[in-house]
Structure 1
């Protein structure tokens, strides 16, 4: 395989395997293009850019290359160092910066890294804006400046600003949380969540924090996507330690998975559902999630008479829909919670604070709370593209199921009485993702298998 084939430049950012598609040349080209794009936005002054990274082994060298590139083309750099993606998003706002770069490949394996690009609101660029940056990367040489016009460099820690925004929420009461004397296990997946989440829990009055995989050296102790099959050791640790619950994050801490008392994994799909169940007790307003998220959110919304809107998968798509409908909360079924009161971005720390407050208010355990929520089973598959013509196959499936409730805003979602299936080409990996949900695991498996077979034969 040619190394260039491991580089994926899309509206979700630029990611690849370091040393096999993503290296100094690519980092300079795309960071330089983003800096040049920012110069066009601000016109007449030096852009200010926040750069932060997760704990990956390659993070430090990538950050040095990116910050030096930005300085060399006349951008002032604020280096947030080891920082969660939501912390960098908050930092862009707090520093009145013109943009930001997060160096993190999220749930991808340790050998991957990525540049995720933020606008001056600390939100991901729109697809159109990303295309503008990619066009500059392809068309332009690095726009170096003379020495007297070089950008400045400053290292600054923004974690406290992030925590202060969460603690200032009118519905977060650290004293009430402290009275519950929570004992919490945190799986930091050897990255930045191991720093940020315990810091928040201490400020919330959690009396005991058991940190596993807590050294942020980037050599992940298990596959980084917080799925139950990857968390057997963590689940066992929750059961054996007798803590009240476990929090698990991904490497950049924008996703939050839960483990209930006794060592029972709680579907990532329920993270946003629990957050919504909490907030709707205090506020009225719409919720926005993506097409791949569980029907459980719709059932909980019905209890409160609240509307739910669906957007294409991807944080920027959910955020744009949230703004359009005036949503008070949003999220994605992968454990992402988006609370505009803090910032428009998925945030594991926000999710953790809301869940602890909900449990404190209800005086329930996590397992007791989960028992009150709708029960669905979801399966998720990845189908390598190989020789599959995904676009043609999905178009033919849409024609075949034209009689059903379908959506084509993001791949193809088919809603049936017995469940739903969502098939879409990934923005971050060379695969087609297949999600299926039904009332039971067997029904969801059958639904997924049926449509995988149809996809392969029709394509």
Structure 2
């Protein structure tokens, strides 16, 4: 049986695999497991924060989660529509025992997901997810009478989150004109408001969620609208979120994309200059562009690389007490200010650096030169042999040698599909494409499923 939890909670088609029944069962199972980890909540009555993005399905799924938690004796504070990092923050800020977020992030509207945060707003370890999954459907003792949980709306959630963001900023945004694209998602209200309160003149697109239009033609996976808006409004920069606002990509004043690697490069140097970059180290994944590594070498900043996934970045950051890490996708973690990736915080920090230095974003981002990158997903192959097939490994060695230190090759298996991902970076797109094509042929010939 496939594991219920993926790399970031439980996710899939709402009312397909992600049903109200599953949401109810998962929430009661989580309450039981968190209670066991905390000694049965003997010292206090358990408390949970629940939030969601604006998807229509989030309405019935959050209702099921809230009902499940209350039936298990947990007092529920329903924060409504808020970004994922806001829910993580509120778990810590409100002294809750855990939190639940209903969102499928950047996925299209028909999908939804259920994500849990432990005490202090941290993501769950694999073993805790396994315990929750094992508890689903098992018999449990139901509280009765005054022992059942109570439910109330958390009206001040947005205000507490916005106050936290403003306190985190090193410099105000006076004089900057910024376009915000909220992807018709969870940050549609809070992101424009906090940028205005920080001093920026703000233009807004993609901030009219109707439950059906999340990530539809707007946001960090659809940057065309933001590029046009930045140029048309003569803005200094644009900020794009995804559906639950745990990511941020940017656009410079000329309409050029600034990706997560470039954002991390700018922020790493900013933190270094303030003496706030712990161990002078940035944590990134193996999918980050080689240009980031080279730029950080030039800036005397060490880069530690992890497996793909923000949870692995976070694990390494906590292990080494590092302050900055993230992914090329724009999922950036700043541990001094939050326990998970926060697209609104990232955008504020990036804009703060522009205001602080007086330099345009294009100039700041030019500290890093992105090497052309080609990524090909090879389907229908035996992904488990990608690291052991000697012919394939020889082909990888040949391509790596041919790049002569000015590029790199990465082959990795998908975590959920029979797919091998072939990624090549090189001095030119043509060189990267040719190398990737040659490797794809070898993967197909050597690892094809019978």
Instruction: Report the CA distance between 1:83 and its aligned residue.
Output: 0.8
Separation in structure 2 between the aligned mates of residue 328 and residue 261 of structure 1, nearest angstrom: 29
Instruction: Report the CA distance between 1:433 and its aligned residue.
Output: 4.3
Instruction: Report the CA distance between 1:50 and its aligned residue.
Output: 1.3
TM-score normalised by length of structure 1:
0.87
Contact 2:185 2:215 in 1 (8 A): no
User: Which residue, out of 330, 334, 353, partners 1:339?
Assistant: 334
In structure 1, the partner of 2:98 is 99
Contact 1:102 1:116 in 2 (8 A): yes
Aligned runs of 1:70-85 on 2, under 5 Å? 70-85=69-84
**What are structure 2's unaligned runs of at least 5 residues?**
none
In structure 1, the partner of 2:206 is 213
Contact 1:59 1:113 in 2 (8 A): yes
User: Which residue, out of 422, 431, 445, partners 1:443?
Assistant: 431
Instruction: Report the CA distance between 1:84 and its aligned residue.
Output: 0.5
Q: Which range moved further: 210-219 or 391-400?
A: 391-400
Give the direction of change, closer, same or farther, for the CA distance of 1:143–1:277 in structure 2 (3 Å limit). Answer: farther
Q: For residues 161-207 of structure 1, what are the alpha-carbon distances to aligned partners after superposition, in whole Å with 9 as ceiling and x for unaligned?
A: 333333223x6122xx21xx111111111111222211220121002
User: Which residue, out of 258, 270, 289, partners 1:266?
Assistant: 258
Contact 1:12 1:427 in 2 (8 A): no
User: Which residue, out of 180, 183, 194, partners 2:188?
Assistant: 194
In structure 1, the partner of 2:130 is 131
Instruction: Report the CA distance between 1:383 and its aligned residue.
Output: 4.5
Instruction: Report the CA distance between 1:237 and its aligned residue.
Output: 2.0
In structure 2, the partner of 1:288 is 283
Separation in structure 2 between the aligned mates of residue 98 and residue 361 of structure 1, nearest angstrom: 38
Separation in structure 1 between the aligned mates of residue 162 and residue 438 of structure 2, nearest angstrom: 46
Separation in structure 2 between the aligned mates of residue 266 and residue 238 of structure 1, nearest angstrom: 13
Does residue 1:456 correspond to 2:444, yes or no?
A: yes
Instruction: Report the CA distance between 1:437 and its aligned residue.
Output: 2.7
Instruction: Report the CA distance between 1:253 and its aligned residue.
Output: 0.6
Does residue 1:250 correspond to 2:249, yes or no?
A: no
Q: Which range moved further: 389-398 or 197-206?
A: 389-398
Q: Which range moved further: 364-373 or 93-102?
A: 364-373
Instruction: Report the CA distance between 1:389 and its aligned residue.
Output: 2.4
Aligned runs of 1:419-430 on 2, under 5 Å? 419-427=407-415
Q: Secondary structure in 2 aligned to 1:58? A: helix
Give the direction of change, closer, same or farther, for the CA distance of 1:36–1:380 in structure 2 (3 Å limit). Answer: farther
Q: Secondary structure in 1 aligned to 2:208? A: coil
In structure 1, the partner of 2:232 is 240
Give the direction of change, closer, same or farther, for the CA distance of 1:402–1:96 in structure 2 (3 Å limit). Answer: farther
Contact 2:253 2:360 in 1 (8 A): yes
Separation in structure 1 between the aligned mates of residue 292 and residue 416 of structure 2, nearest angstrom: 26
Does residue 1:41 correspond to 2:29, yes or no?
A: no
Separation in structure 1 between the aligned mates of residue 181 and residue 433 of structure 2, nearest angstrom: 29
Q: For residues 212-263 of structure 1, what are the alpha-carbon distances to aligned partners after superposition, in whole Å with 9 as ceiling and x for unaligned?
A: 1111224136357724xx3223222222222111111110111111111122
Structural RMSD (CA) = 2.7
Separation in structure 2 between the aligned mates of residue 438 and residue 142 of structure 1, nearest angstrom: 57
Task: Report the number of matched residues.
Answer: 436
TM-score normalised by length of structure 2:
0.89
Q: Which range moved further: 35-44 or 432-441?
A: 432-441
Separation in structure 2 between the aligned mates of residue 116 and residue 436 of structure 1, nearest angstrom: 33
In structure 1, the partner of 2:19 is 23
Instruction: Report the CA distance between 1:272 and its aligned residue.
Output: 1.7
